[in-house]
């Protein structure tokens, strides 16, 4: 007889001082799924590919400066024939099949697979206890030192991602912290989830985020 998995996961909730004040029930269909590494790997590849800026460009022989005059006469010099200094086989000449600046690196991923990748990443974070849930809106003045103190209280170190919703002061407070990123709830990506040590959610924001994935 197969073992039935619980529908919810109990997870601690802390206040801004880092003290445990309550618990929250997380949907196991979002935070307790079987890890799908292939889906997460593909989601990261799609994210990085779509972020690329196709600005690399090399000059073709028609764009290289100079080369209007034939370097030497066709015959009698003992050297190979040459018609232009812009030839791709010459140093400083044009480039064959180089990047044009119009490359398209964009990749697509269907919504169902992307949702599965998000659930897998979130489940991994919960399993490793790297999720920090704050019981109320994180209200601080837009000052860097206060943001540093907040992270210290919450026990968040290394690379930290804070998921916010209409919290302008918090966004400003962490803007100068090199290893901290603050993203809106609708901008959470699999890449960011896997590339940070701790994820911080406000309780209400987490429940809203969870509701969009069920």
Average per-residue pLDDT for the chain: 92
Say what the pTM is.
Answer: 0.81
Task: Calculate what percentage of the chain has a pLDDT beyond 70.
Answer: 97
Two tokens, residue 128: 């490793």
Please, what are the domains in the chain? Answer: 8-51+117-211 (3.40.1370.10), 53-104 (no CATH)
The rounded distance, in Å, linking the Cα atoms of 200 and 164 is 9
Tens-digit pLDDT profile for residues 68-96: 889 999 999 999 999 999 999 999 999 99
Q: Which residue has the tokens 């010459």?
A: 90
The rounded distance, in Å, linking the Cα atoms of 171 and 10 is 29
* pLDDT in the model for residue 43: 97
Residue 33 scores a pLDDT above 60: yes
The rounded distance, in Å, linking the Cα atoms of 116 and 138 is 29
* pLDDT in the model for residue 1: 47
* pLDDT in the model for residue 46: 96
Residue 5 scores a pLDDT above 80: no
CA distances from 101 to 95, 98, 107 (A): 13, 9, 18
Tens-digit pLDDT profile for residues 102-152: 889 999 999 999 999 999 999 999 999 999 999 988 888 999 999 999 999
The rounded distance, in Å, linking the Cα atoms of 177 and 197 is 15
Closest Cα to residue 177, out of 191, 193, 196, 194?
196
Average pLDDT over residues 52-81: 91
The rounded distance, in Å, linking the Cα atoms of 203 and 174 is 19
């Amino acid at each position: 007889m197969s073992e039935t998995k619980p529908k919810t996961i109990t997870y601690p909730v802390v206040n801004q001082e880092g003290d445990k004040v309550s618990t929250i029930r997380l949907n196991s269909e979002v935070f307790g799924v079987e890890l799908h590494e292939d889906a997460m790997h593909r989601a990261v590849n799609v994210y990085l590919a779509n972020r690329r800026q196709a600005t690399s460009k090399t000059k073709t022989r028609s764009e290289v400066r100079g080369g209007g005059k034939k370097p030497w006469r066709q015959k009698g010099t003992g050297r190979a024939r040459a018609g232009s200094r812009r030839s791709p086989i010459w140093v400083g000449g044009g480039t064959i099949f180089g990047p044009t600046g119009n490359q398209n690196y964009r990749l697509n991923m269907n919504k169902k697979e992307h949702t599965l990748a998000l659930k897998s990443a979130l489940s991994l974070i919960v399993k490793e206890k790297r999720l920090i849930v704050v019981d109320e809106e994180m209200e601080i003045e837009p000052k860097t030192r206060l943001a540093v103190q907040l992270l210290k209280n919450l026990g968040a170190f290394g690379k930290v991602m804070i998921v916010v919703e209409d919290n302008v002061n918090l966004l400003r407070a962490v803007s100068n912290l090199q290893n901290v990123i603050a993203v809106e709830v609708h901008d959470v990506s699999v890449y960011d989830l896997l590339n940070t040590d701790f994820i911080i959610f406000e309780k209400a924001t987490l429940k809203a985020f969870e509701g969009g994935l069920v």
